[in-house]
Amino acid sequence: MEEIIVLNINFKFGDTEDVIYPVILKDNKEMVLVDCGYTGFMPVIEEAMKEKGLDCNQLTKIFITHHDHDHMGTLADFKSKYPNIKVVASETEAPYIGGEKKYLRLEQAEAMQSTLSGEQKAFGEAFCEILRKVKPVKVDILVHGGENMDWCGGCEIIETPGHTPGHLSLYIKNQKTMITGDAAVLENNQLVIANPQYTLNLDHAKESLAKLMNCDVETFICYHGGILRKS
């Protein structure tokens, strides 16, 4: 049986309540987790899976859409506790995930520090420290745009650069469902670019969003914002 299961991970960041939506792709052979949350989120994701009747011991792969701490911060914990899980990501993102190259978001945050003042500077430095604590994890399987995986009845890897250079989205063809990662977020029932002020290449991000919206999709699952179903 092929299933797409969306996890609702509610959490507090300071005084703000937020939600992220990791996705499970499940069939008779594979159980793939798409993105895995902030550093320290593994117990929360394990519990959310348990509530859906899922066992983390059956996870075969974790697919990382891109190297950002809210999408792969707890990847090292998963790999440590469940060593048989294979990590899947793009060739471009793999050196950042694996720690061979410096985290681009950290470079960006450090460069912004000189433009900040007072409380902003203190907040910025705290954010940099959060990024520095993300543990690297070796990517086991490199994938490319246009490649087809047999997960959940068939998934196409879609290249959606912009937010980061090697960002990938996942198109589950037989269910006309797109898992967007951060190539699109859902705001006020609209698909928009995630944090355009922090997007590493805004022109590429706009092209990627247009590419997703031009696909034959009935359901978009956004890591930030949740589910959009076309009427």
DSSP 49-105: HHHTT--GGG--EEE-SS--HHHHTTHHHHHHHSTTPEEEEETTTHHHHTTSS--HH
Q: How far apart are CA 75 and CA 82, in angstroms?
A: 10
In order of start, what are the domains of the chain with their CATH numbers? 3-229 (3.60.15.10)
CB of 53 closer than 8 Å to CB of 22: no
List beta partners, residue 171.
156, 178
pLDDT exceeds cutoff 90 at 13: no
- What single-letter amino acid sits at 60? T
- pLDDT tens-place string over residues 161-187: 999 999 999 999 999 999 999 999 999
Q: How far apart are CA 199 and CA 181, in angstroms?
A: 13
- What single-letter amino acid sits at 139? V
Lowest mean per-residue pLDDT among 30-34, 105-109, 208-212: 105-109
Higher pLDDT, 17 or 64: 64
Q: How far apart are CA 180 and CA 172, in angstroms?
A: 11
- pLDDT tens-place string over residues 22-43: 999 999 999 999 999 999 999 9
State residue 223's pLDDT score.
Answer: 98
Residue for token pair 């690297």: 136
State residue 209's pLDDT score.
Answer: 98
Torsions phi, psi of 80, nearest 5? -70, -45
Which residues neighbour 129 within 8 Å (Cβ) at sequence distance 6 or greater?
A: none
pLDDT tier for residue 117 given thresholds of 50, 70 and 90: confident
pLDDT exceeds cutoff 90 at 228: yes
Average pLDDT, stretch 103-109? 93
- pLDDT tens-place string over residues 187-196: 999 999 999 9
